[in-house]
Amino acid sequence: MTGRRLLAARGISRRFGAHLALAPTDLEVGSGEAVALVGPNGAGKSTLLAVLAGALRPTAGLVERSPGVRVGWMPQRPAHYGRLTARENLELFARLEREPDPDGAAERLLARFELPADPKPSAHLSVGNRQRLNLALALLGDPHVVLLDEPTAALDSRQRRRLWETVAELREGGGSVVFATQNAEDLHRLADRVVSLSGGAAVFAGSVSEYERAEAERSTCVTT
């Protein structure tokens, strides 16, 4: 961890009935850094992000936020109302986030992510536009920590660059990002640290270069 601690997980775990989706996990997130969560589908990445966001209660352990720290969350599936337009969704969630100027916040994010301002319900938007709306909603309220679940899925190359720029701006302002990805380019563009999960448990934590060395060594062991 670098910088002032913003968010921390202390031994958090999550069960769904008899299934252990997330084994006891510790994680600290400091200001100005980006932490990548990697691993196969079902490894526990989405569960960890949902618990950090407060959308799921941990079965054990606790999540600590430093005083005044705001958290934004972009789940993997769309988290907006399909009957509302992109603008109406942004205005609604801006009010829920107690934005002083909900209409202005919606207008800024529509322009920033090139979202359509027409009266089309968001359920009828393209997959890429729904993904961009999901990301825009996560940034309402000027969060200090943004939690992103597969953020570049369905984005074209231009919109991926826009996302990288957004993350860079957040970090320059002292914020931080925790994101789940299976995209090697995202890992190199965004991450300082990597946490690898498998079967609901964290099996590696370290820098990107350390992670790549560990993966190379593992691949060598598998092939010999």
Average pLDDT, the chain: 91
Question: Which residues are registered as beta bridge partners of 37?
Answer: 180, 195
Cβ neighbors of 6 (< 8 A, separation 6 or more) are 29, 30, 31, 65, 66, 69, 144, 145, 175, 176
What end-to-end distance do the CA atoms of the chain give, in Å? 35
Condensed to tens digits (0 to 9), the pLDDT of residues 56-98 reads 999 999 999 999 999 999 998 878 999 999 999 999 999 998 9
Residue 109 in contact with residue 139, Cβ under 8 Å? Answer: yes
Pull the structure tokens for residue 137.
């909603």
Which range, of 70-74, 116-120, 132-136, 204-208, averages the lowest pLDDT? 116-120
What's the rounded mean pLDDT across residues 134-145? 93
Which range, of 60-64, 118-122, 177-181, averages the lowest pLDDT? 118-122
Condensed to tens digits (0 to 9), the pLDDT of residues 187-199 reads 988 899 999 999 9
- CATH number for the domain running over 1-69+144-224: 3.40.50.300
Q: Determine the Cα–Cα distance for residues 198 and 92; give it in Å rounded to an integer.
A: 37
What's the rounded mean pLDDT across residues 192-214? 93
Domain boundaries in the chain? 1-69+144-224, 76-142
